């Protein structure tokens, strides 16, 4: 289980519990540009394995940050989308993107894109 809704009083800790892990922010980042299929996310999130992607998607769904829609087709199609709550993380991710570039500049590393 990846999700642990620790009832910590500290709001920063709450946020860290929800998205402070190696993969979730990268998944959410990809979903910012719109609905994505499982396979698209797998390609978009650098070196993530199938199992770990599945685990994290379930956890994000459980926490109310994304929705999962299964289409009864053959072959099956599953789409993931940010909820309103998940979308509200955009400003934070935008700042993290800016800060990441700022950090690289400070360290004399060339900036990049996703």
Position among 2, 3, 25, 38 found at the interface with a second copy (CB under 8 A): 25
> Could you say which residues in the range 72-111 bind a second copy, by CB under 8 A?
85, 88-89, 91-93, 95-104, 106-107, 109, 111
Say which entry of a second copy, DNA, none residue 1 contacts (CB below 5 to 8 A, set by partner kind).
DNA
Nearer to DNA, 52 or 93 (CB): 52
Residues 6+ apart with CB under 8 A from 66: 28, 31, 57, 60, 80, 81, 82, 83, 86
Pairing of strands 36-37, 77-82: antiparallel
33 in contact with a second copy (CB under 8 A): no
Asked if 26 is part of the footprint of a second copy (rule: CB under 8 A), the reply reads yes
- DSSP letter for each residue of 25-74: HHHHHHHTTS-EEHHHHHHHSTT--HHHHHHHHHHHHHTTSEEEEEE--S
Residue 53 interacting with a second copy (CB under 8 A):
no
Which chain residues interact with a second copy by CB under 8 A?
Answer: 7-16, 18, 20-22, 25-26, 29, 46, 64, 85, 88-89, 91-93, 95-104, 106-107, 109, 111-114
């Amino acid at each position: 289980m990846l999700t642990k809704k620790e009832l910590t009083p500290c709001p920063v800790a709450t946020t860290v519990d929800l998205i402070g892990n190696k993969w979730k922010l990268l998944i959410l980042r990809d979903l910012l540009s719109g609905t994505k299929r499982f396979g698209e996310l797998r390609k978009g999130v650098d070196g993530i394995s199938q199992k770990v992607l599945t685990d994290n998607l379930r956890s994000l769904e459980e926490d109310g940050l994304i929705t999962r829609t299964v289409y009864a087709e053959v072959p099956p199609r599953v789409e993931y989308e940010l909820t309103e709550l998940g979308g509200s993380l955009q400003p934070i991710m935008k700042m993290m993107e800016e800060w990441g570039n700022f950090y690289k500049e400070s360290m004399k590393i060339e900036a990049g894109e996703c």
